[in-house]
Copies of this chain bind each other. A is one copy, B any other.
Amino acid sequence: MGGRVTLQDVAAAAGVSIKTVSNVVNDFDRVAPETRLRVQGVIDDLGYRPNLSARQLRSGRTGVIALAVPDLAARYFAELATAVIAQARRHAMTVLIEVTDAERSAELAMARGLGSTLIDGVILSPLALSQSDLSGKPGRVPVVLLGERDYAHTFDHVLIDNVAAARDATAHLLATGRKRIAAIGAQSGPSSATAHLRLCGYREAVHTAGAPELAELVAPATHFSPPEGAAAMRRLLALPEPPDAVFCFSDMLALGALRAAHEAGVRVPQDVAVVGFDDTEEGRYGVPSLTSVSPDKPEIARQAVALLADRIESAGSQRKPVRTEVGYELVVRESSAPATETEGTL
């Protein structure tokens, strides 16, 4: 089993030429059924496995795609990665995961197709990239972007309607009778498409409801992490008139916020309702369980891999970039239940 078996070896053992074996392996049609059977037998016996390097060298393909995410430890991306790996398998592709640490340079490098030469394409989840970073020429390899607005139609692109989702989440809080809705996760600068879109949705909902939009209720966060969420929540709770609901731009922020509320002796959802974004498993099993916007991750993965695979197949053909929108859902759990109904739960 140890030493590599090559086409050469199989060919010798089967008494045919290398190319015939290659044809069998690749399921080409110009092979007589009986030959095919015999060769296949030898392949199985010897345990032949094609050398991907040689294959790529010849054909330009490796069957490996890269998934570039800001942070793998962020549950959302771990779940997304799992979904992408599963989808890639269905396309007979392997996934190489890159962690960009949300650094602009790293994301840019991936978008340009640098990184490993081994990859056929990239699925990139940009956090730090601005629109102008990507508007330029596409790089060496096919790229599919995830989760942002369409970057000047330069790349294929899978996203959810962040504005609508944020609006729905905020509207839900208003519908449960909350009046002072805060937002956690605002980010300034051009590099923060996601945060910006969610903030827009939040504002739209607040505006539609005729509620006052107070600058003091919009809390910034540099990272979408629990510590940032906790810090922001502490600031909000320290206000003279604290909010009675908080819409967090990610579940990690929300978990931090829950934590801060707990420490401050503020009850969730009785005193303040909390809604997150991403619907990660830790939110589902938090105490209280977290209401959250749930993007359809499997569908995102399916679309992204399909688009990338298509782009790879038809290399050269100049298909126009596609923008695919994927659904989401607001999953209501304890953290935003109307104050009256929840008393009994405890």
Contacts and interface: CB of A to CB of B under 8 A. Distances in A.
Interface size class of A (residues with CB under 8 A): 35 or more
Contacts of A96: 64, 94-97
Interface string A1-34: 1101000000000000000000000000000000
A129 interface: no
Interface in A69-110: 71-73, 75, 78-79, 81-82, 85-86, 94-99
A257 to B, nearest CB: 10
Q: How many copies does the complex hold?
A: 2
A281 interface: yes
Contacts of A2: 137, 139-140
Given A64-B96, A116-B52, A117-B50, A137 B1 contact: yes
Given A49-B114, A57-B53, A96-B94, A285 B259 contact: yes
Interface of A: 1-2, 4, 49-54, 56-57, 62-64, 71-73, 75, 78-79, 81-82, 85-86, 94-99, 112, 114-118, 137, 139-140, 226, 230, 255-256, 258-259, 262, 265, 281-282, 284-289, 346
A69 to B, nearest CB: 10
A265 B287 CA distance: 12
